[in-house]
């Protein structure tokens, strides 16, 4: 078989036939009776398209939220996935739901408003691409028509036997408005789930052909409809079918005909008049986006002349092409803008009409660190960049970005980093879910200011290509890049803001120190055999203490008093005060007794607090024997080196480090030990 033939084998002919279905107007009426959903308007179709991907409900801070799977962008491997914006996306979906049900928001521009880099254009892009894919599926099918004329009547279409509907209208619009309600009742179009509504008139060109055919056939509607061929409509931005995008350009080189179409001067000679609709190109963005969605990039930068067209398109769903009557459109109008432009709109008294026709949906920055991490994890995995990305590198970058977007808490006993952790679902003593609600309510502008993800991505990229990079990047490389970039950051408006961001980098560095000290501590104390021995020793002493018995010394065989010093050295690691030691020890013995009744054996790993205390005690005992601080001087004896290698392997195996980053972390933590800066 030829190479071309092998490619052709991949084609699905059944799908091709389905997507290129054609039939008569009679066939289409039968199709509508079976499946009225094919007549849905643009808002209904966009809303159903999002829902078709499914949704999941979850509770956050006692509030029921919905996460729409569509915005995970699974059809494109998550390339444009949106994270951490469930509440803004719910608000957007409520607007679409209201519009789909005809409650009024279908007469509004949906305006996505937020700071730069907050996913506004990504949301619009997802909706456009999703609608394209939905139109190819059986549940998203929609139809338009073209005129098939005999040669004797081809002059109606300028010598063509086929004249496509230039605005891809719904075929039912060909039914005269005076008959529509009777047609729906008589033909029983629609069902309990979907009511068929025929709204709007055909475009001027098809209206002209329809009128002339009606005149030719002496008003015989049935014969006129014999010239109509209905076909499946596939929406495509690249083919300029049902998906439009408009963005402001130089005012001198742009006029409103880009939105509503312009006269085709070559066809004036054929039809004899520039006011004949067949001599008009219905190829403006409003025209081609009919039946789908139009995106206005930076909508508030548009010249006033364009905004006049927008007003009618929004409220009345009509546009005014040059030299023709108002023409009906059916499309979702979505725009996006940043805060500076929106503030100008509020201050411009000439724009009241537009403000009144706008539904604003705020799209803020993410304020949950774990969700922010997902943005960077998508692009900067070790496999994707070909270099090792050390643990916590992306977390530290995301933490700093999130901190810049949060407002200082008004509660004096709460730091900004603690607030970030609460927002991220962590628990802190003395704070409930109600407290988190209060924190969010008191911070009115939270998420509307701060550092954008784009800045973080730029600096991670810088770190990846830096000469200091030896096949791996770590948090300090990225944090240093972030700090260096602050001097020239174009969106930082004041020195106070620059200083605040710099101070927050110091907070993140301290947080990173605490994280790696804890990891090295756990790696050093991860000797299960040693922890088991220490645990058994502790339990023996606690048992003897609570039962007022003595403990047999394993070396001398002598009976001795319980080792109070050993017990307190372990309990103090988890902040058990002297006054509470008896209660804690009884709790441990009761816990062991309860397990024994169930036929189970006690294991230190099942008790998180005790496990933590044992690890901390073992670390304290072993850190000096390992002599980690000797790493700083580069003088390490063989026995110590073997112990350090064991710790390094644990860091690689349990915490995701590689050889280089594990060595770096050990050196870093060793330098902390060397200066005596160790938290118990």
pLDDT at 679 over 60: no
Q: Could you tell me the pLDDT band of residue 680, with boundaries at 50, 70 and 90?
A: very low
Write the pLDDT tens digit of every residue in 417-473.
999 999 998 877 778 777 888 888 888 889 999 999 999 999 999 999 887 767 788
Same domain, 575 and 517: no
The whole-number pLDDT of residue 674 equals 67
507 and 568: one domain? Answer: no
Q: How confident is the model at residue 269 (pLDDT cuts 50, 70, 90)?
A: confident
Domain identity same for 505 and 534? no
Cα–Cα distance measured from residue 329 to residue 313, given in angstroms and rounded to the nearest whole number: 7
Q: Determine the pLDDT at residue 107.
A: 94
Query: What was the pLDDT predicted at 646?
Result: 83
Nearest to 334 by CA among 313, 352, 365: 313
Look at residue 270 and tell me whether its pLDDT is greater than 90.
no
Q: What is the pLDDT of residue 629?
A: 55
Q: What is the pLDDT of residue 279?
A: 86
Do 498 and 574 lie in one domain? The reply is: no
Residue 394 scores a pLDDT above 90 = yes
Q: Which of 602, 622, 642 is the last residue of a domain?
A: 622
- DSSP 3-state of 447: coil
Instruction: Tokens for 79, please give them.
Output: 């390339």
* Helix boundaries (H) for 144-264: 180-186, 204-216, 221-225, 257-260
The closest alpha carbon to 285, from 264, 320, 257, belongs to 257
What is the chain's mean pLDDT, rounded?
88
Domain boundary at 232, 249, 284, which? Answer: 232
The sign one gets for the Cα dihedral 406, 497, 458, 485 is negative
Determine the pLDDT at residue 627: 58
**Is 560 in the same domain as 474?**
no
Asked if residue 457 and residue 602 are part of one domain, the reply reads: no
Q: Are residues 458 and 605 in the same domain?
A: no
**Pair (429, 576) in one structural domain:** no
Share of the chain above pLDDT 90, in %: 48
Q: Rounded to whole angstroms, how far apart are CA atoms 517 and 527?
A: 17
**Residue 114 neighbours by CB under 8 Å, 6+ apart:** 120, 338, 339, 362, 363, 364, 365, 448
Query: Is the distance from CB of 623 to CB of 353 less than 8 angstroms?
Result: no
pLDDT in tens, 317-341: 999 998 888 999 999 999 999 888 8
Query: Which of 573, 591, 622 is a domain's end point?
Result: 622
Q: Are residues 491 and 551 in the same domain?
A: no
Has residue 509 got a pLDDT over 90?
Answer: yes
Query: Same domain for 484 and 535?
Result: no
**Contact, 114 vs 448, CB < 8 A?**
yes
* Per-residue model confidence (pLDDT) at position 675: 65
Asked whether residue 239 carries a pLDDT value surpassing 60, the answer given is yes
Tens of pLDDT, residues 158-209: 778 899 999 999 999 999 999 999 999 999 998 888 889 999 999 999 999 9
**pLDDT tens readout for residues 525-577:** 777 777 888 888 888 888 888 888 888 877 777 888 888 888 998 888 888 88
Same domain, 475 and 612: no
Neighbouring-strand partners of residue 328: 318
Determine the Cα–Cα distance for residues 486 and 509; give it in Å rounded to an integer.
16
Report the alpha-carbon distance of residue 652 to residue 385 in Å, rounded.
19
> So what's the pLDDT on residue 624?
60
Residue 438 lies in a domain: yes
Number of domains in the chain: 3
Q: Give the residue carrying structure tokens 């000439």.
A: 350
The yes-or-no verdict on residue 634 having pLDDT over 70 is: no
Q: What is the pLDDT of residue 625?
A: 57
Give Dmax (Cα) for the chain. 121
Q: How far apart are CA 579 and CA 46, in angstroms?
A: 64
pLDDT, residue 639, reads 73
The two tokens of residue 355 are 């403000």
Both structure tokens of 105 = 């928001």
One domain, residues 512 and 533 = no
For 591, the domain range is 526-622
Write down the pLDDT at residue 636.
60
Interatomic CA distance for residues 209 and 512, integer angstroms: 72
Dihedral of the alpha carbons of 431, 437, 442, 444, in degrees to the nearest 10: 140
Q: Is residue 337 domain-resident? A: no
Q: Break the chain down into helix, strand, coil percent, rounded to 5.
A: 55, 10, 35
The answer as to whether 661 is a domain residue is no
Look at residue 134 and tell me whether its pLDDT is greater than 60.
yes
In angstroms, the Cα distances linking 119 to 316, 406, 442, 467 are 29, 18, 25, 32
């Amino acid at each position: 078989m030829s190479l071309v033939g092998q490619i052709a084998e991949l084609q699905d002919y059944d799908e091709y036939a389905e997507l290129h279905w054609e039939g008569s107007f009679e066939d289409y009426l039968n199709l509508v009776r079976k499946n009225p959903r094919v007549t849905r308007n643009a808002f209904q179709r966009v809303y159903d398209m999002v829902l078709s991907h499914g949704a999941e409900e979850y509770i956050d801070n006692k509030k029921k939220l919905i996460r729409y799977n569509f915005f995970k962008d699974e059809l494109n491997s998550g390339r444009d996935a949106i994270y951490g914006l469930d509440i803004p996306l719910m608000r957007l979906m409520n607007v679409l739901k209201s519009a789909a049900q005809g409650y009024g928001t279908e007469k509004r521009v949906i305006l996505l408003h937020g700071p730069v880099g907050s996913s506004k254009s990504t949301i619009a892009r997802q909706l456009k691409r999703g609608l394209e894919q939905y139109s190819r599926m059986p549940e998203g099918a929609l139809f338009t028509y073209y005129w098939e004329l005999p040669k004797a009547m081809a002059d109606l279409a300028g010598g063509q036997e086929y004249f496509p509907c230039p605005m891809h209208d719904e075929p039912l619009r060909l039914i005269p408005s005076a008959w529509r309600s009777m047609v729906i009742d008589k033909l029983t179009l629609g069902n309990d789930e979907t009511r068929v509504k025929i709204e709007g008139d055909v475009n001027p060109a098809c209206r002209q052909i329809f009128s002339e055919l009606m005149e030719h056939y002496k008003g015989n509607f049935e014969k006129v409809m014999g010239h109509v061929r209905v076909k499946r409509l596939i929406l495509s931005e690249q083919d300029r079918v049902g998906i439009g995008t408009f963005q402001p350009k130089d005012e001198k080189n742009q006029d409103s005909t880009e939105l509503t179409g312009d006269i085709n001067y070559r066809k004036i000679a054929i039809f004899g008049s520039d006011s004949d609709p067949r001599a008009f190109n219905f190829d403006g963005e409003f025209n081609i986006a009919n039946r789908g969605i139009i995106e206005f990039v930076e909508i508030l930068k548009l010249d006033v002349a364009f905004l006049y067209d927008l007003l009618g398109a929004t409220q009345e769903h009509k546009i005014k092409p040059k030299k023709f009557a108002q023409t009906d459109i059916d499309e979702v109008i979505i725009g996006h803008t940043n805060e500076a432009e929106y503030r100008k709109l509020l201050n411009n008294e000439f724009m009241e009409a537009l403000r009144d026709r706008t539904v604003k949906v705020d799209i803020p920055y993410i304020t949950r660190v774990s969700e922010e991490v997902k943005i960077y994890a998508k692009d900067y995995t070790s496999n994707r960049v070909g270099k090792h990305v050390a643990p916590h590198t992306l977390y530290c970058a995301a933490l700093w970005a999130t901190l810049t977007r949060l407002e200082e808490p008004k509660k004096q006993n709460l730091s900004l980093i603690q607030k970030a952790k609460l927002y991220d679902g962590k628990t802190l003593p003395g704070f409930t879910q109600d407290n988190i609600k209060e924190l969010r309510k008191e911070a009115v502008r939270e998420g509307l200011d701060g550092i954008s993800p784009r800045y973080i991505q730029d600096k991670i990229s810088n770190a990846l290509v830096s000469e200091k990079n030896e096949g791996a990047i770590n948090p300090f490389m990225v944090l240093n890049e972030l700090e260096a970039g602050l001097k020239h950051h174009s969106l930082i408006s004041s020195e106070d803001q620059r200083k605040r961001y710099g101070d927050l980098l110091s907070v993140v560095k301290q947080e990173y120190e605490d994280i790696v000290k804890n990891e090295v501590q756990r790696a050093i104390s991860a000797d299960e055999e040693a922890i088991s021995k220490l645990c058994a020793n502790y339990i023996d002493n606690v048992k003897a203490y609570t039962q007022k018995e003595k403990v047999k010394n394993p070396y001398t065989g002598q009976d001795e008093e319980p080792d109070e010093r050993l017990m307190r050295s372990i309990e103090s690691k988890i902040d058990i005060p002297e006054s509470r030691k008896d209660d804690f020890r009884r709790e441990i013995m009761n816990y062991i007794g309860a397990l024994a009744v169930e036929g189970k054996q006690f294991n230190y790993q099942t008790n998180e607090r005790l496990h933590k205390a044992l690890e901390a005690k073992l670390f304290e005992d072993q850190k000096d024997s390992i002599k980690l601080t000797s790493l700083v001087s580069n003088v390490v004896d063989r026995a110590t080196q073997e112990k350090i290698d064991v710790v390094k392997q644990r860091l690689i195996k349990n915490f995701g480090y590689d050889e280089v980053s594990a060595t770096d972390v050990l050196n870093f933590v060793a330098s902390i030990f060397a200066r005596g800066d160790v938290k118990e």
